[in-house]
Amino acid sequence: MSASATSSRGPDACASGSSALELEAGAVSDPVRSATGYHVLQVIEREAEWVPPRAEIADEVVAEYRRRRGERALRAYLDGLRARAEVEIAPALR
């Protein structure tokens, strides 16, 4: 496993990913309780943490930065509209 606890069902499939992170390769955990029942975890192998080269992910990082900046700008715009809005409830709806 790498630094984040994942299983074949996704990162949140196990109740306690930290239990798996504490195990050595080949070790088996005590039963771990989750919302879906009890689980026994086994670490098959561990991989060294790997960080991709900056050039390989630069476009993706820039796109994510722009997306988040756009979300913040939209949120600020909508908050401004709400602050200036005058809401009146029609007498028939009261």
Is the pTM for the entire model greater than 0.85?
Answer: no
Measure the CA angle with vertex 47, ends 37 and 4; round to 5°. Answer: 45
Distance CA 9, CA 56 (A): 27
Instruction: Tell how far CA 78 is from the center of its chain.
Output: 25
Q: What is the pLDDT of residues 1-23, one digit of tens each?
A: 344 444 444 444 544 566 778 88
Residues 6+ apart with CB under 8 A from 9: none
Using one digit for the tens of pLDDT, what is the confidence trace for 30-73? 898 889 999 998 889 888 889 999 999 999 999 999 999 999 99
If one counts the domains in the chain, the total is 2
Q: Which domain holds residue 4?
A: 1-50
Q: Look at residue 93 and tell me if it is in a domain.
A: no
**Are both 13 and 43 inside the same structural domain?**
yes
Q: Evaluate whether residue 94 is within a structural domain.
A: no
Task: Of 3, 93, 7, give the one whose Cα is nearest residue 46.
Answer: 3
Find out whether 58 and 65 touch, Cβ atoms under 8 Å: no
